[in-house]
Amino acid sequence: MSTVEADQADARQSALLEAAVGVFARYGFRKTSMEEVAHAAGVSRQGLYLQFANKEELFRKALEHSLNSQLNAAIAALAVREESLEARIIAACDAWSGRFVGSLGADAADLMCASTSLAGATLTHFETRFESALTGAIADSPLAAFCATAGMSPADLARTLHATARGLKQRSASREEFVKGVTVAARMFCATLNRRK
């Protein structure tokens, strides 16, 4: 297979997984059918089964695809050095945790249970990588000195920010409400930097 053919196959796989993510987000795990995913992706049901043995495998791959996209967007947000640390943290938390806030279908309540039971190790792996990226951004900023004087590490701060974002994700009715809450948290943590200016 040539590089062009491989790129096209990757693009088709990515589009199919994005379609699956959308269907799972709308109907939840239990109510999603392979036929609905095939229709959303513009492929035949048989074609979908040629790529994924069953709905569980499709869900695991779609979840991994979504988590990878969210993580890459969060890492990219943290890398924008022209922005303040506060703005980068807000953007990273939004990219990582905010994507589906307020947009899940009424039947999607079972997604967290399905994610944990079918792909718990994958979920943990990506959460750890997100916290590691946050830790790196904090450690590479003037906030690291504040952490040291306050008796905590950048990793402690990253875990707390991540836990806050997870909590806000669960209780926010909209993405705007989620971003507002994350902004409050980031601003509290970065307030010491603003006082030093």
Question: What is the structure's pLDDT at 152?
Answer: 94
- Alpha-carbon distance of 103 to 93, in angstroms, equals 17
Question: What is the structure's pLDDT at 70?
Answer: 97
Q: What is the mean pLDDT of the chain?
A: 92
Question: What is the structure's pLDDT at 112?
Answer: 85
Per CATH, domain 3-196 is 1.10.357.10: yes
Question: What is the structure's pLDDT at 167?
Answer: 94
Question: What is the structure's pLDDT at 177?
Answer: 97
Helix axes 55-78, 111-139, angle to 10 degrees: 20
Neighbours of 113 (CB within 10 A): 12
Question: What is the structure's pLDDT at 39?
Answer: 96
- Alpha-carbon distance of 38 to 15, in angstroms, equals 11
What are the residue ranges in the chain where pLDDT is below 70?
194-197
pTM (2 d.p.) = 0.90
From residue 135, alpha-carbon distances to 20, 78, 162 in Å are: 32, 10, 10
